Structure 1
Amino acid sequence: MGWFSQAQEVPEAFKEKTERLIQMRPKTYLVLNTELKSEKRDTTLLRYFANQCEENNYLEGQAYALDHIGTKYRNISSFKKAADLHQEALQIAEQANNVELKVLSLNMLGVVYRRSDAIKTALDYNQQALELAEEVENPSHHILRSINVSLNCIGGLYQTLEQYDLAILQFKRALKLEEELGNKLGLAINHQNIGDCLENKGDLDGALENYRKSLAYNEDINSAFGKAFCKNSLAQIYLKQDMPYAALVLLEPLHEQAQSIGDFYLTSSVFINTGWAQTALGSFNKAEKLIQDGLEMAQNHNLPSNILYGYQKMSDLESARGDFKAAYDYYKRADEYDEEISSATNFRYMNDVIVRYEADKKNNQISVLAKENEIVRLRLRKNQTTLLVSALIVGLISSILYILYRQYQSKNEKRVLSLEQNMLRSQMNPHFLFNSLNSIKLYIINNEQKNAVHYLNKFSKLVRKILEASSLKEISLAEELETVELYMNIENIRFSNEIDFNINIGDGINPENIKIPSLALQPFLENSLWHGLSPKEGEKKICLNVKQKSPGHITLEIIDNGVGRGAAQVNKENRVLKRKSVGIRITKERFANFSKDYQNNFDVDIVDLFDEQGKPKGTKVVLDIPTI
């Protein structure tokens, strides 16, 4: 590390502390952070400490120092230097095989790349940090904090992609964990982020409430950066509420404060917002100077989101002046820049990584269950040996009975697990996924951005619901109806929105109180779509009715006006590519397993419908489901 000279002044007390720490060689972040808490913001001292650790091969101390020096560079928007330092710290932490410091470096790399709008790289690092931290069996306080940092960063990436509801879920999860840890800085950060999401959703009152909570926590811990950031956010709300004077009261003192902090991301935003306020007050020359200063700062330090923001505010300024040609030019530059930093590649990468992470997590859970079963079998063998010594015959008989019981139970569990996995595979049908994404792609190609985002939101919500429901034996009927409605909305794209789909719930029925097997209705709807309605010309309808059959049963009816089963079978035999449908068979087996916990049985009946002339006019599927 040739970037530090020993000739720089270092207090003797710190030299003694450095020597003592190198002799002690603490391995945990807690000990290092406790010892260096007062010096960790002084890059001169940290560089000296890092050099001494390198000379004495003390890897943990060197990695700790490099990460905190990198954080200082990040906070002054020197992202390249920050990333290099965090990457070096990560390599040293891996060499030391220290999980705490590896997670710290990964998270810090994610933050650096997120601040420079490199979404794909940032998500990759934060995802690695979260997976590594969640694998720790007895996590330390620092590991728990790192999990919160990862959640916060992943939420921030959803936020960048304008997936605000998903972002708020991550931030609220982190907020709850920060409350348990009593970490006021984490509480401040998560309230700030929730406020930003609500602001972008148009909920200005909710945003104000969260910004004020964040400011209170930052004042409590006396964070200069946090207080300045919150005041800038509050001023932005006041500007949106047409209160420019109130915004200026907060913004003008921030000019000097933000510059002294040295964070160009914050400083450029403060200047642009002050220019916005002056535009609202009619001081156009002042406004132009402030916005251009903020825009130039963002361009010089490669801050894409602030560059876009500056172009937008310059367009608003020129429009207010009456120079509509200049306003249009800035609007066009902003639009082109927005296209550049919000590419479809980032959306695809985000969804791919989320699905991969959820699948890996599910496989890990299955692996843990298998290991636990192996441990149980080993314990059983040990117990058998002990029982044979004391009472051979009784022990042998008991062991045989117990083994038979365990085998029966294990087979049943495997059968249930196999059904759930098969069910998930049928729900996550590759044809359905490909065709849905292809339909969304067409919207993007046709520049129908609102439709693309609308259906992409629905698609990601459906995938998340399927993944969540796949881990549950049963869910409420209300949740199941919401899932199938999402499924039908997406499938309807491919039918050019020709299908009239309705859900009717009978009087006195509360879907929240009724439990059914998760993801049970989709296979029947899929059959109606692709075998009944797909080959039909003209009006296409599917109706889902929920009725009370008796105090112990409810009836679900799925009625379509398709071509009927006879014609559907002929169409199926004439197809060149025959797709084997197993969804209904799997669902019937799951219903049979589900009804074992109830007094009454379930029943599935498929009825052909005919008109007065005896011609097929559709199909009705009747599901009788026990409730007690």
Structure 2
Amino acid sequence: MQRIISIILYTLLLIPIGITAQDSLAKKKAVPSSKMSKITKSLEKSLDVNDEGQIARNYENLANEFLNKGDNAKAEEYFKRALNSYTKLKLTEDKTRVTRSLAKTQENQKNFDSAIKNYEVAGSLAKDVSEEKINLNDANRLRNNANPASQTNYVDSNIELLKKENKSKEVTEAYVQKAQNSLELKDKKVAIESYKKAIAYAKDKPEEVINLKNEIAKVYASDNQFEKAIGINEKLLAEAVTKQDFTTQIKQLQSLASLYFKKEEPNKALVSLKEAYDLASKKGNSTEAKRTLSELVKYYKTEGNEKESIALYDQFLQNFDQLIQSDTSLINTKKFQITEGKIRQLEKEKSLKDELITKKNTFNYFLIGSVILLLLLFLFIVKSLFSIKTKNKEIALQSLRREMNPHFIFNSLNSVNQFISENKELEANKYLTSYSTLMRDMMENSNKDFIILDKEVEQLQKYLNLEHLRFQDKFDFKITVDKDLDAETVFVPNMIIQPHLENAIWHGLRYLDKKGFLHLKFQLSNGKVKVSIEDNGIGLTKSQELKTSNQKVHESRGLNNTKERIGLLNELYKKNISFAIREKEFPESGTVVEIIFPLIDSI
């Protein structure tokens, strides 16, 4: 079950955040960033009036926005649309500019063949010799992509040409190319210098400066200079905190975590990641929240900490709706309304996705429900079997308890007959009265597994009185109850003791030449009740020699009955009742029976 839930959570986590956000926000009249929104509205207006020039400029502006956001595929798409419009209008200068921009997006996507072609086209369209040279240098640079050393001259040439043209943005890009080229040549020192020069030309663009400083930190990290890399990230983090730039704070915390992992300081890394995740969740940045969560989960899974992974999934899903609703960054450029067809397409995609999710959820619910039903059925069957087994044990216990001792009844009736034949009507009447009282008590308590000690002692007293009335010249008896035992609250097993008293009298004491003694004791020992039945009869060995075969069978059945009942009581009530019988050692004669069970004050 836990595995099924983990798979469902992980699947939800893998759903692209952008798509989910669009679906959840499709019914809301939210718009992209203010600049993107203005461009979109301008595009809609230009399409309405069919202003080709304005349409082209809006497409180009839209493409540049996608390029700034790092969405090169979308940027390429809208640069191509702008290029088509500028081509229709035969605006060569605009066409040259857009063709070069198109080549850059293709280079970013490593589509080098298309990029080379468009750099060459841009060069051929350029009216300025310097601009032509710049584009051809880029084309040649990409042709020698497999040979970084040969690229250096083209990059250096472009840097000088672009400086003369005062194109600071492209000078920055050229220095970045030089830094990347130097890294391929394993020259990290030049790479860092190039990034620093790029920063000088990008000083009026804070976001780009931050990215360049992060690149420098990566170079230091790749050279195992972690302290320098960490210092850069910590400084950028402090600046971001001062400016309340939460997006930068999140990214710097992520970078610090990556550095700490490489430095083999996972505890610090986890602190940074958790801080980044909390900040992203708090500020409604679902993309970075997801990315940070993935890193945390990846680490916990590597460490085998599935429990922490599932806890993170649960937390993410619980806050998912709130996170989506507060995340304005999820309203991306795919949401702008170019045509009603685009909107219909998005609505169709949403409908299909919802249908797919519904089917998936229905299947998952059905699967989970089936497992639960099977589990409940299994538990019901187990419970039923256990109940039947327990009931059978209770029936067996009652059956054993109600199994009357035919020998006792037979001997009792013989005693009455003997008293009558000897004209001892008083003794016969007394015996019958005591016998009927004892039988009534035994019948009343026959359905109870445990009875109060006080009633058990009373019942045993009546039984011993009966036996003493018959064999008064053979034995005397005494019943002792420990003063520490509360006879009115302590429970004892019902009808377990009597058979052993009967054995002591009939197979031990009645064969003595002198008067014997039977002592029944109830003691509290180590928190348990100890019952001792001690006699000074002829003992087990001699008793076996004198018994008839019928008597042996009878005694064996009595002992087995007792053992079976004790076994059933232990199974049903878990009371750990024990039973032992032993013969006294010479010169003493007689038998000692011990029954031990816990102190029971309630059933």
Q: What TM-score results when the alignment is normalised by the length of structure 2?
A: 0.36
Larger Rg: 2
